[in-house]
Structure 1
Amino acid sequence: MILIHLVLLLGPGGGHHDGNRGASVAGHQTAMLDLIGVELLCLVAASAALRIARTSTPQLNPHH
């Protein structure tokens, strides 16, 4: 999702609506950057949760 929103932000017209220019485009770009930031925070939180769950679960070692 991050890559999709980044492509939409950097693509022609700066977003979904090519006809809109001026303040609306700047507001749309800011909203897209905010959305990408939220998606990155979700990615970091999910990664941390998986790492914590993996380290707190005892690993069974059949060789010992």
Structure 2
Amino acid sequence: MILLHLVLLLGPGGRHHGDNQGASVAGHQTVMLDLIGVELLCLMAASAALRIARTSTPQLNPHH
């Protein structure tokens, strides 16, 4: 999703999902950058949660 929103932000016109409601390009870019930031935070939180879960669960088969 981050990549998709970055491509849409940097693409022609910087429009998101065909939005033609007259929003200013600068305002739209700010919203898109905020959205990318939220997506990055979600990615980091999910990565940390998976790492914590992996290190806190005991190995069921220690021979592998």
Residue aligning to 2:57: 57
Q: Indicate conservation of the 8 Å contact 1:12/1:18, yes or no.
A: no
- Structure 1 unaligned residues grouped into runs of 5+: none
| Letter aligned with residue 42 of structure 2 | C
- The count of corresponding residues between Structure 1 and Structure 2 is 61
CA RMSD of aligned residues (A): 1.9
Looking at structure 2, the residues matched to 12 and 18 of structure 1 have their Cα atoms a distance apart, in angstroms, of 13
With structure 2 as the length reference, what TM-score do the two structures score? 0.83
Identity of aligned residues (%): 85
CA distance 1:62–1:47, change in 2 (3 Å): closer
| Letter aligned with residue 28 of structure 1 | H
With structure 1 as the length reference, what TM-score do the two structures score? 0.83
Structure of greater Rg: 1
Q: 1:20 deviation in Å? A: 4.3
- Structure 2 unaligned residues grouped into runs of 5+: none
CA distance 1:62–1:45, change in 2 (3 Å): closer
